[in-house]
Amino acid sequence: EDPHVRPVRERPARLRVAARLGDLREPDRGVDRQGLPGQGLDGQPVARGEEQAPQVLHTHGPTVFVREMKSREQSSRTPSEVSDRFNSDTGKDSASNKRRREDGGRPVSGDKQQGIEGQSPPAIKDLERSESTPTRSNVGRRADITMSCVPVLNDGDEVCANCGRQGSDTVKLKNCTACLLVKYCGVDCQRAHRKQHKKTCKQRAAELEDKRLYSQGHERSEGDFCPICTLPIPLPTGEHSTLNACCMKFICRGCYVAAGIRGMFDCPYCRTRYPDNDADELAMINARVSKKDPVAINLLGGQCFYGRLGLQKDSRKAVEVWTEAAELGSVEALYNLGLAHERGEGVKQDKAKGFEFFKRAAMQGHVQSRYNLGCLEGQKGNHDRALRHFLISAKMGHKNSLDTIKKMFMDGLATKEQYTQVLKGHQEAVEEMKSHDRDEAKRLRDEQGL
**N- to C-terminal Cα separation, the chain:** 114
Residue 292 burial class via C-beta count within 10 angstroms: exposed 0-12, middle 13-18, buried 19 and up: exposed
Q: Which domain holds residue 183?
A: 174-215
Distance in angstroms (rounded) separating the CA atoms of residues 135 and 428: 57
Name the strand (E) or helix (H) holding 378: helix 367-379
CATH of the domain at 364: 1.25.40.10
CA angle 47, 48, 52 (to 5 degrees): 80
Picking from 129, 138, 136, 193, the residue whose alpha carbon sits closest to that of residue 164 is: 193
Report yes or no on 3 lying in a domain: no
Question: Does 384 fall in a domain?
Answer: yes
Residue 352 counted as domain residue:
yes
What does residue 376 show for φ and ψ, rounded to 5 degrees?
-65, -40
How many angstroms separate the CA atoms of 138 and 132, rounded?
10
> In terms of domains, do 29 and 72 share one?
yes
Domain assignment present for 346: yes
From first to last of its 450 residues, the chain has per-residue pLDDT tens of: 455 555 555 555 555 544 454 444 444 444 444 444 445 444 555 444 444 444 443 444 443 334 444 444 444 444 444 344 434 444 444 444 444 344 443 333 333 333 333 333 333 233 233 333 333 334 334 334 333 333 333 444 589 888 888 888 888 888 888 888 888 888 888 888 888 888 888 888 888 888 999 999 999 998 999 999 999 999 999 999 999 999 999 999 999 999 999 999 999 999 999 999 999 999 999 999 999 999 999 999 999 999 999 999 999 999 999 999 999 999 999 999 999 999 999 999 999 999 999 999 999 999 999 999 999 999 999 999 999 999 999 999 999 999 999 999 999 999 999 999 999 999 999 999 999 999 999 998 888 866
One domain, residues 357 and 236:
yes
User: Same structural domain for residues 205 and 120?
Assistant: no
What is the count of structural domains for the chain?
A: 3
User: Using an 8 Å Cβ cutoff, are 346 and 305 in contact?
Assistant: yes
Question: Could you count the other beta carbons within 10 Å of the beta carbon of residue 425?
Answer: 17
Residues 322 and 369 in one domain: yes
The residue out of 100, 130, 145 marking a domain boundary is 145
Residues 274 and 338 placed together within one structural domain of the fold: yes
**166 within some domain:** no
Q: 426 CB contacts (<8 Å, ≥6 apart)?
A: 394, 395, 397, 398, 399, 402
Q: State whether 364 and 272 are in the same domain.
A: yes
d(CA 345, CA 326): 17
Contact 141, 95 (CB under 8 A): no
